[in-house]
Structure 1
Amino acid sequence: PEIRSMQSGSKMASFSIATSKRWKDRNTQEQKEKTSWHNIVIFGDGLVDIVEKYVKKGSKLYVEGELQTRKWQDQEGKDRYTTEVILQGYNCNLTLLDSRNQSNNSIDNQSDTKQDNSVSNDSLGSNSSDSSDLDEDIPF
């Protein structure tokens, strides 16, 4: 992760994480994999300190934040867009899935920064979802 100090004196962290989707091709029965990269930006000294101390290349993470797209111009003056997952304030979650003693470390900013061992690797690693859970969130 890249750690930077802002003009205000607070710190920010930025890094990319990969997510992979695996499936079997119906026609060839061949295993396929698609990897996507996601830019993560973290504000707030508490979370940044955790990232600085514990997150390394190859670390397994679970992140929740706000998707934000920003517009910028390249050297030729062309408009470019970057979408990032922003972890800032109280509505974000960073869970370290790697641990020396096989427990999970969760930093959840929905209340105060805290350690939470209630999330299991098995529940986060599953790609299947129950569609009935999604139906409850639909407002119509």
Structure 2
Amino acid sequence: MKVILQRAKEAKVTVNDQVVGEISSGILLLVGITHDDTEKEAEYLANKIVHLRIFPDETGKMNRSLLDIKGEILSVSQFTLYGDCSKGRRPNFMGAAKGEHALQIFDRFNELLRNNNLTVETGSFGEMMDVSFTNDGPVTLILESK
């Protein structure tokens, strides 16, 4: 699994001019899943994400986690994270998991995040989505399970 984590002041996903997921303060996650990802990878990243100290304390130092601030999560499936651009001019997406497997792992990942008593909104899996957000900081991190 690959996750692009972006600290956000606000974020939303729109599909066909309808808002399907929206948060105020917290993190936007772009989530990519590959063929051999299992619940183990989802557990590792969910645990890592909720405990990362990326929010400022009273002195401005990144010393507080999403759990500490009771932040929200907007989780968006993003198969293009497994796009290979090393050859030619068109990305090859053979590294991305097929729909059924990816959806199963994506759903389990979000369930694991919710098990921490956090609000977790999502986009619409497999749909064309418009994602908008205000990056806070900006803080952007790339997390991988391997």
- Asked if Structure 1 and Structure 2 have the same fold, meaning a TM-score greater than 0.5 normalized by the shorter chain, the answer is no
Larger Rg belongs to = 1
Higher helix share: 2
Higher strand share: 1
Relative CO higher for 1 or 2, CA cutoff 8 Å, sep ≥ 6?
2
Taking structure 1 as the reference length, what is the TM-score of the superposition?
A: 0.26
